[in-house]
Amino acid sequence: MRGEPTNRLALFASGNGTNVQRICTYFRENKHIRPEVLFCNRTDAFVLQRAQKLELPSVCINRRQLADPDFMRPLLRQYGITHIVLAGFLALIPAYLTTDFPGRILNIHPALLPKFGGKGMYGEHVHKAVVSAGESKSGITVHLVNEEYDRGRILFQAECEISPEDTPATVAEMIHALEQTHFPPVIERWVEGGFSFQ
Ligand code: GAR
């Protein structure tokens, strides 16, 4: 372990990992907050290759292991995890984790919740739904995690405008840019207790 930061993040991801990469880069020089480990629920996810390059330890977990407190708790303890960040993690977080980490699990969603959230609403499915609905704006939502998909307290939202020419792909690009800009500083503020209700 490199020194002893007070706050240690576990990053949970399932896919490409652009958010994981940005978070790791953002906190590289931070002595108080450190991404400590990646939990990934897909063995073929590109985020695993990114983690290797970033020298971020990674653990592949299947559905059964995620659901099993006797599997997850010792691992989270081993890495001294204080906060969990879902960065494109597409499985439901089990209740024992929300109990163990009250107010300490954060998710990013690629739309303006409460619209376009819930089961099955992830990644490009969200952008397709937004474009099909003829929305004039979309954005990102960073929120606390409870036992229901996309229903926890909203901490932050940022918007982008959508024109009639936009496609799911162009919306995805705008959302991606918003995530890269805003997610790490929001994580930092949350960890430091900087939201008014904290
Ligand atoms: C991100 O756009 C994130 O908001 C979304 O998955 C993408 C992951 O991209 N999350 C959800 O849809 C959660 N419901 P990444 O793997 O490149 O960071």
CATH value at residue 107: 3.40.50.170
123 within domain boundaries? yes
pLDDT, the chain, mean: 95
Question: Which residues, in sequence order, are CB contacts of 19 under 8 Å at separation 6+?
Answer: 13, 87, 88, 108, 179, 180, 183
Is residue 156 very low, low, confident or very high in pLDDT (cuts 50, 70, 90)?
very high
173 within domain boundaries? yes
48: CA distance to ligand 1 center in Å? Answer: 15
196 within domain boundaries? no
Mutational test site, ligand 1, from 24, 39, 93, 108, max ligand atoms within 8 Å of CB: 108
pLDDT of residue 2 exceeding 60: no
Mutational test site, ligand 1, from 126, 143, 144, 175, max ligand atoms within 8 Å of CB: 126
44 within domain boundaries? yes
Q: Identify whether the C-beta of residue 71 lies closer than 8 Å to the C-beta of residue 41.
A: no
112 within domain boundaries? yes
**How many separate domains does the chain show?**
1
Q: Identify whether the C-beta of residue 97 lies closer than 8 Å to the C-beta of residue 104.
A: no
35 within domain boundaries? yes
Residue type, 117: G
pLDDT, residue 3, reads 61
151 within domain boundaries? yes
pLDDT, residue 197, reads 82
Is residue 1 very low, low, confident or very high in pLDDT (cuts 50, 70, 90)?
very low
In tens, the pLDDT along 50-66 reads 999 999 999 999 999 99
Q: Which domain holds residue 93?
A: 7-191
62 within domain boundaries? yes
